[in-house]
Structure 1
């Protein structure tokens, strides 16, 4: 299995920086409270200085959503939605240790992070333009079809695992208590995106290692090296050019 962005995505959004991690051996019977508190404190300090809508990371996604024909304040990227809720409520609900950790790091870096249960993905996963016949499952169990040309995460079976790029993930491949293997994707488009995504991946890799005592494999993706190949346990995932 491999994960990648299509050539058209790299062509249309050359400023994109992406980081990926593959982790096996996760469980739901651990605590990430200390790590979550640490990363939330970073986000809290950032929000004191300026609201989420003024952050360069969020403004870049707003511009991207506008280019995709979406109203940015109607369809917010995942990190903006999290920051907005965190600013208003002062905390985020606990869902699963891996999700709680990724959400906290997303808050700290203001960068969207998607987390997929690999057992629920058929074949390769690609960020690409939708044909319009893909199947998307909401968290409430309803079925939708993305709009033609909408940016989605599509697998080999024609299932959309995220709609409107970083706006909304599918309930079909959401992390659940029995999840043991996950793919994590972070994406950014602001001026310092490449450096910030690299720092985010390092932070997440270290936090996962400390929490689950496993060694995630990771890669930074670019137009020249757009593919992350996931292999079985005991081997290394790798980044490669097409």
Structure 2
């Protein structure tokens, strides 16, 4: 099993910096409250003098969504949606300890973080342009097909595990109580993305290892070394 971005994605978005983390042994009982509070507090400090749209990380993703032909105020990257909710509601929802931790790190860095249950992924996971016939399962349990050329996370059976790149994940591979093996992906486009994504990766990998007492494997992906082999 592996994760990668297709070659033409790197060609079209050379500013992309991505990280991947994998581990097994995840349970729904870990205590991450202190770490979540720490990261959410950091995000609130960044929002104290403005809104999420002022942050360079979010500006870069808005430009990327515009390049994809999407209206960035209609389709937001995951970190912008979380930051917007945090600014309006004062906190983030609690879903599962791993999701709560990843969401908190995402708002602290203003960088999208996606988490996939590897037992629901067939063969591999690749960010690529859609043909338009892939099956996307919503959280409501209904099926959709992405638009042709839409950027999706696709597996070997032609199932879309996320639509519009960092906009919306599928319910099929969402983390649930039975989840044990996961792939965590973070992607950024802004000027200091190389340093920030590397910092996010280490911070999150260390927090996961501490909370669940597990080993993690992680890497930074590039256009040259774009495949991450998943051994978990």
Compute the TM-score of the two structures, normalised by the length of structure 2: 0.99
- In 1, Cα distance between equivalents of 2:205 and 2:166: 21
Shift of 1:49: 2.1
1:200-234 residue CA offsets vs partner (Å, 9 max, x unmatched): 000001101110011110000011110100114xx
- In 1, Cα distance between equivalents of 2:107 and 2:124: 28
Q: Which residue of 2 aligns with 1:46?
A: 46
Q: Which residue of 2 aligns with 1:207?
A: 207
- In 2, Cα distance between equivalents of 1:4 and 1:24: 19
Q: Which runs of 4+ in 1 moved over 4 A?
A: none
Q: Which residue of 1 aligns with 2:70?
A: 70
1:148-184 residue CA offsets vs partner (Å, 9 max, x unmatched): 0000000000000000000000000000001001000
Aligned 1:24-35 pairs, distance under 5 A: 24-35=24-35
Shift of 1:50: 2.1
- In 2, Cα distance between equivalents of 1:154 and 1:7: 14
- In 1, Cα distance between equivalents of 2:51 and 2:231: 41
Number of aligned positions between the proteins = 232
1:115-172 residue CA offsets vs partner (Å, 9 max, x unmatched): 0000000001100000000000000011000000000000000000000000000000
Shift of 1:108: 0.1
- In 2, Cα distance between equivalents of 1:218 and 1:24: 13
1:31-90 residue CA offsets vs partner (Å, 9 max, x unmatched): 100000000010000000221001000000000000000000000000000000000000
Q: Which residue of 2 aligns with 1:18?
A: 18
- In 2, Cα distance between equivalents of 1:49 and 1:215: 38
Q: Which residue of 2 aligns with 1:158?
A: 158
Q: Which residue of 1 aligns with 2:98?
A: 98
SS at the partner of 1:19?
strand
- In 2, Cα distance between equivalents of 1:163 and 1:183: 17
SS at the partner of 1:49?
coil
Q: Which residue of 2 aligns with 1:240?
A: none
- In 2, Cα distance between equivalents of 1:194 and 1:20: 13
Q: Which residue of 2 aligns with 1:193?
A: 193
Q: Which residue of 2 aligns with 1:217?
A: 217
- In 1, Cα distance between equivalents of 2:172 and 2:30: 23
Aligned pair 1:111/2:130, yes or no? Answer: no
Structure 1: 5+ residue runs without aligned partners? 233-242
